[in-house]
Amino acid sequence: MNDKNTKKQNSIRLLIGLILAGTAVLLIGAGRLGDSMITRQAEQEAAQAQWQTAAERLLRNQGTGKDLQALAKRHPEYLLQTMQTGMRPERRD
């Protein structure tokens, strides 16, 4: 009888240990994913700031109006792409 209870307790301990280990692995993975997302967001914000700086410098040299300056703040990539294509619509092949 004692041997049967010991095996049952050992199997319960093993099951609890596996559940705890699995939970720990999931929490570590979630932490790493969160860190990765924060890093990616910071990189995107830095890139956006660089795009804005480039667009504002180009507009400052051009002496343009406030509408284009507002566009440079909101969507600098549109403005830079337009300047790159020479103010022509893109060709679709």
Q: In this structure, what token pair is assigned to residue 5?
A: 């209870």
How many folded domains does the chain comprise? 1
pLDDT at residue 64, rounded to an integer: 66
pLDDT at residue 89, rounded to an integer: 59
pLDDT at residue 23, rounded to an integer: 94
Query: What counts of helices (H) and strands (E) characterise the chain?
Result: 3, 0
The structure tokens 């301990």 sit at 13
Question: 91 lies in a domain?
Answer: no
Q: Please say if the pLDDT value at position 76 is more than 90.
A: no
Determine which helix (DSSP H) or strand (DSSP E) holds 75, and give its type and residue range: none
Question: 25 lies in a domain?
Answer: yes
Question: 70 lies in a domain?
Answer: yes
Question: 65 lies in a domain?
Answer: yes
Question: 92 lies in a domain?
Answer: no
Confidence tier at 13 by pLDDT (50, 70, 90): very high
The answer to whether 31 and 39 have CB atoms below 8 angstroms apart is no
Question: 58 lies in a domain?
Answer: yes
Question: 93 lies in a domain?
Answer: no
Give per-residue pLDDT as tens, 14-63: 999 999 999 999 999 998 888 888 889 889 888 888 888 877 777 776 66
**Sign of the C-alpha dihedral computed for residues 80, 81, 83 and 89 taken in this order:** negative
pLDDT at residue 70, rounded to an integer: 77
Q: Please say if the pLDDT value at position 80 is more than 90.
A: no
Query: What's the Rg (C-alpha) of the chain?
Result: 29
